Structure formats: structure tokens, C-alpha cells
Amino acid sequence: MKGFRFAGIRAGIKKKDQKDLGLIYSDSPAVAAALFTRNKVVAAPVILGKEKIKKGLCRAVLVNSGNANCFTGKQGIEDAVFCSKIVAQSLHIPEDHVMVSSTGVIGAYLPMKKFETGIKEIVRHLSENCINDFADAILTTDTCRKIVNETNSIKGKPFSVIGIAKGSGMIRPDMATMLAFVLTDAKISSEDLKIILTAVNEKTFNRITVDGDTSTNDTLLALANGSSGALVNDSESRAVFHSVLEKVCMQLSKMIVKDGEGATKLVQIIVKGAKTKEDAFKASEAIAHSNLVKTAIYGEDPNWGRITAAAGRSGAYVVTEKMDLFFDGRPLVLKGNWLGPDAEKEIALIMKEKEIVITLDLNLGQETDSFWFCDFSENYVKINAEYRS
């Protein structure tokens, strides 16, 4: 993409021999918008980022993995500020144009000597061709990098949107995602970028879950440097930009769930026919977060009772006798009645697939909502039992 450069190096922050420090740099000041975690326990970079983003401009983003810089008090804030100062000095840009993000273990102070040395080194590696290095440097328990690139045009001028994310566990965003950076060479105001980003986030990152935990460091940051000349300034161009941004964020969201810690299956739960939007959301969210549903899916068991029970306790208005339940379009329950062992045998074959769509029709109204989630395996427990060791 025109106007952005990337780098990723090993600075020694992680115990393992892996890249752990990444940098994004825009050749010109970029319009910026961001969303942050709603967790009441927040990391120092989030506290700092909430203040910096108010100016609506950003030129560099420093990201480390292996240490969340959370629950580190005044020292954590000072360390985050110091990191942004070193980046600014090294790139000869204003400090308030530098954002920092962290991900990793909570409660440990940043190894500042490693950061100081690493930042001075990483700026020398900046290149348009090093996006993979950046994507690798921000991973924690992820098993793969997550990058999406989409293009379109506005009034004959092509533009691109690139998204880079990390996330595998502690996934129940409730705002954005663990860490996601969306870059575009389109030209857009900070106000429009924030409005569109917020709307897109609600349909993508706010509709995924792995384990129901909201991180202390969740950050979704969007940068637009305008280098393509494609101008987003009217309803038609906003609609085009919105659709491309949503496509990128949806793909990233699904990649995060698919790479969930210990996950073997990607599942979409669709709740339709709800009386209100709130009911559709409540029911789909409850099913997606249900450990009983998730373990049944891991066991390839079409345990429809767990799904309908989760909807029943969600707080949504439901009527048992009106419920229909489908797996990849095949019915197992109609009007509250189980269709019997032959139907269940057919559904059991569907449960062996790696991707499954479950649809619960409440038959009470016109509202629909959905979540993407994954199954729960014993590997999830193993990964998190050993996370700090």
C-alpha cells in the first residue's frame, strides 16, 4: 500500500526466540480513529491512547507482544510515554503522532532497556515489504499471522484497506478486538472515519467470542493517510469505503475465532425471528458464550437442548413451542418439537465439518443477529494453564 511502512524484530521481550516488537509508519500524518476496551482494568497504552487519539492524527504505531503493561500503575504510564518519545525522536516526528500498544502477560513492568535498544533498531528495518514481520511480532498464543487486503475505487481512483490483527484467547471484545490495525490510503475526515469504524466494529469484532473474556488491552486503530487521492466525502463514497472496511474487519474477526486457543471448529449462530433487536442479540450472545454448547460442538454432538436452553436463559423473549432449529439449513427442531433420531443422525454428520452455521428461528418477529464463535477443547485449558510458565 502506498505511504505505509512496517517492521518487526526480536527485542528480547518474550522468553521465546520470536519477534516481539512491531512498528507501523505512515510517510505523512494520517487521520486516525480508535476504539478501546470497556474493561475497567485497562493497560497503560490504552490510557495513553485514549488521550492521544483525541487529536485525530497519528503517524507511527509501536506494538509489543509478551508484556501487556497492565496493572503497572504510574510506572507503566511513564514507560509507555517514554517508548513513544523514543519512537518520535528516532523518526523525527511529533510525539503526539505516536501511538503505542501492548499485549501479553498482565502485571509485569516493561523491560525498558530492551525497548530503548529495540526501538532504535526497528526504525532501520522499516519497509513497504515487511508487513509479515510486523504481523508476526504482535502475536501471543496465535498460531498464524492475520492480514487482510481489499481494494476498490471511488470515482475512478483506486484505494486499498489493509487490516492486521492478533487474537486467539481472551476474546470477547465488547468494543473492538484484542489488537487490530486497519490502514487505508483513502482520504477521509477523522469524524467520518470514527463513525464508519464504530458501525463496522459493531457488526464484526463485537460479534465474536472465543472464551467470553474481554482483554485489558483491546484496541482497534484505523489510519488513513490519503496517499491514493481517493476522496471519501459524500454518501456514495462513504458507502463504498464502509463496505470495504467491513469486509476487511469481518475477515479478520473470523480469522481470530478460527485461530481460537485450542479451537477445532468455526461456528456462526444466527438468531432470527426475534421480537426485538435486543432479544436477537441476547439470545445469539448467550448461545455463543455457552461452555456447554461449545463443548458439545467439540464433541460433534448436536445437543440441541443446550442451544435452546441458552436462548431461554438469555433474557430474550422466547416461546418454546415456536422455536425452529437448523444446522447448515437442515432442521432438527420445528415448532419446539425434536424431529427424532433419524434427523439427529443427519445433523451429526454436519457436526463433523470444520465450519458450521446454526440458525435458531424464534418465530416471534422480524429481528436478526448473529455471533461467530468456536468450540472448547482440552487444549484451551492446557494453553492457558501454561501461559505464564
Q: What is the DSSP string of 332-352?
A: EEETTEE--HHHHHHHHHHTT
Return all residues near 68 (Cβ < 8 A) that are at least 6 apart.
43, 102, 103, 104, 105, 106, 107, 108, 216, 217
CA separation, residue 99 to residues 35, 90, 219, 332, 374 (Å) = 13, 14, 11, 50, 32
CA separation, residue 210 to residues 5, 76, 171, 257 (Å) = 31, 28, 5, 6
CATH class of 4-258: alpha beta
Return all residues near 265 (Cβ < 8 A) that are at least 6 apart.
297, 298, 353, 354, 355, 356, 374, 375
Grid cell of 324 as nine digits: 425452529
Q: How many residues does the chain have?
A: 389
Q: Where in the chain is the domain with CATH 3.60.70.12?
A: 4-258
Q: Where in the chain is the domain with CATH 3.10.20.340?
A: 266-385
Compute how many other C-beta atoms are within 10 angstroms of the C-beta atom of residue 43. Answer: 31
Average pLDDT for consecutive 10-residue bins of the chain (389 residues)?
Answer: 94 93 98 94 96 96 96 97 98 98 95 97 98 97 95 97 91 71 98 97 93 87 97 98 98 94 95 98 97 96 97 98 98 98 96 98 98 93 76
The Cα 104–Cα 155 span in angstroms is: 43
Contact indicator for 339, 251 with CB cutoff of 8 Å: no
- Is 219 designated active site? no
The Cα 4–Cα 196 span in angstroms is: 21
pTM: 0.93
Compute how many other C-beta atoms are within 10 angstroms of the C-beta atom of residue 55. Answer: 12
First-last CA distance in the chain = 39
Grid cell of 80 as nine digits: 509507555
Of the residues 103, 177, 184, 359, only one is catalytic, namely 177
CATH class of 266-385: alpha beta
pLDDT in tens, 128-184: 999 999 999 999 989 999 999 999 999 999 999 999 999 887 777 666 557 999 999
For 109, the 3-state DSSP assignment is coil
Grid cell of 62 as nine digits: 509501536
The Cα 40–Cα 38 span in angstroms is: 6
